[in-house]
Structure 1
Amino acid sequence: MTTITHLEQDVLATAQAVADLLPTSAPLSAGQVMSLDEAASSIPPDAVAAHADVLGARVGSVVVIVQRELAASLADSPMGPLPLVDALRPALEALRVALGVGTLATVAETTAAGAITLLQAQDATIIPLQGTTGPAAWIAVSAAPSSAAAPAARPAGPSAGMELLQDVVMELSAELGRTTMTVRELLNLQPGAVVELDRLAGSPADLLVNGRLIARGEVVVVDEDYALKITELISSSLPDHA
């Protein structure tokens, strides 16, 4: 009977959200955990990857590997070339959640062989993301050995780990709503076009930190600038500093 580790559970719980953020033409579905040898034999040698270290109470790294065709499509996008590291950053941010509270260091591009070499030096969890004809991408998370201890072995107060993050700069964004559209619909947009969002008029806007919802509020104007007046904190997204 195979034992599932805490890290594998966390990555599996995050995998589908990561798959949904990849800029692919068809939806992807998360597969099962695979070994590094299985990944090395199944990933095409011309695949490309983006990776970044995760800085926080649980130190590690995150990797997203995609087929070469996706990178070529991004480079030849009708909206202009989009660097792979920028296109995959949202997926890396979502994958980072598997390591808990933290922030990404510099995101870098590498080859499939470079990603495999990076993962060989660490105890990594790898999951394929299935497309219509087989795996179209692979995601991996590794945790530093010092963070592999059970939760009970961590300091009693989460503020101890948060001390490492006090001066880390985080990006905050306010979101009024979302929608989805095809590339054809996007290219047909003209000045004066109306894009309908998935939120009723008057509903509170979301406040996100690196893509993670932490609060909701009302959009107000302060000294001719837009601002967000906080009306609700999402307690499950924020650490307890008591």
Structure 2
Amino acid sequence: MSTTSLERPAVEAATAAARALVELVPTAAPLTPVLGGDAVSPALAAQAVLAAHVGATSADLALVLLDRASLAGAAESGPVDVTDVLRPALEAAGATTGVGVLGEVTLGDATDLVQDAASVVLALTDADGSTAGWFVLRTRRPLRTPADETVTDSRLARISNVEMRLSVIVGHTRMAVRDVLNLEPGAVVELDRSAGAPADVQLNGRTIAKGEVVVVDGGDYGVRVTKILDADD
């Protein structure tokens, strides 16, 4: 696919997304996005990490890495899945296109996405200029300017029936993969907030509210929403 046939806003959006992505991809050496680099072979495209960003500007994303095993020590064989490792990077990439949420991150075939004339493909090169992978972005609707344009009610209506994952987070921590793999029954993992602090209510990984964990009828856990967050929170 010739890069000259791509619209400038699409190229700029893909470049910004790729730059945000490489900041969070945990490779041994930093990666640099390059437009018009080596092409993606069908065999490699069939082993991509895929995600979709739904929002003001919906987009399909794909990441192909030549050395996926380098992301985390035992990500392929242990409890840490490569999709979990790459989700923060893909969320950062999707967020550059505007307000929205990232759907499920999966492993799959990105051949159709790579070959689509509307897709922008950027090679990801390492320190010596060798290709280490590719990032693909295809926006599903024309990009609007300015980039931070507020999502209107009519736009939200287009995605109102899309099902999203709602989660309640009582805390976070960061651990090395080796420490995760060494966890045993009875181990205590310290979180980043005190007992009684409000929990985060997240929509596909994006915090939208604060709440209290409660027990509802039947003994199931629930959350009582105490605060709805503004876009700036």
TM-score, normalising length: structure 1: 0.68
Contact 2:28 2:70 in 1 (8 A): no
Distance (whole Å) between structure 2 residues aligned to residue 189 and residue 212 of structure 1: 27
Structure 1, gaps ≥5 residues long: none
User: Which shows bigger deviation, 222-231 or 67-76?
Assistant: 67-76
Partner secondary structure for residue 193 of structure 2:
coil
* Secondary structure class of the residue paired with 1:236: coil
Worse-superposed segment, 65-74 or 182-191: 65-74
Q: How far apart in 2 are the matches of 1:161 and 1:215? A: 21
Q: Which residue of 1 aligns with 2:3?
A: none
- The answer to whether 1:121 aligns with 2:120 is no
Q: Choose which of 220, 226, 230 in structure 2 pairs with 1:231.
A: 226
Q: Distance in 1 between matches of 2:104 and 2:179?
A: 35
Q: What is the number of residues matched between the two proteins?
A: 219
Kindly indicate which of the two structures has a greater share of residues assigned to helix. Answer: 1
Give me the whole-angstrom Cα distance separating, in 2, the residues matched to 1:71 and 1:208.
Answer: 29
What is the deviation of 1:99?
2.8
- Flag structure 2 segments of 5+ consecutive residues without an equivalent: 1-7
Secondary structure in 1 matching 2:34: coil
Deviation at 1:212, TM superposition (A): 0.9
Pick one of 199, 210, 213 that aligns with 1:219.
Answer: 213
Structure 2 counterpart SS, 1:40: coil
Give, in angstroms, the shift of residue 174 of structure 1.
0.9
| Cα deviation, residue 77, structure 1 | 0.9
Query: Could you tell me the percent identity over the aligned residues?
Result: 29
1:148 to 135, 143, 150: 143
2:199–2:211 contact (8 Å) kept in structure 1:
yes
1:91-170 equivalent positions in 2, closer than 5 A: 91-100=89-98, 101=100, 104=103, 107=106, 109-110=108-109, 114=111, 118=114, 121-124=117-120, 126=122, 128=124, 136-144=132-140, 146-151=141-146, 158-170=152-164
SS in 2 for 1:162: helix
| Counterpart-to-counterpart distance in 1, 2:128 and 2:189 | 30
Which residue of 1 is the match for residue 65 of structure 2?
66
In the alignment, which residue of structure 2 is the partner of 1:15?
21
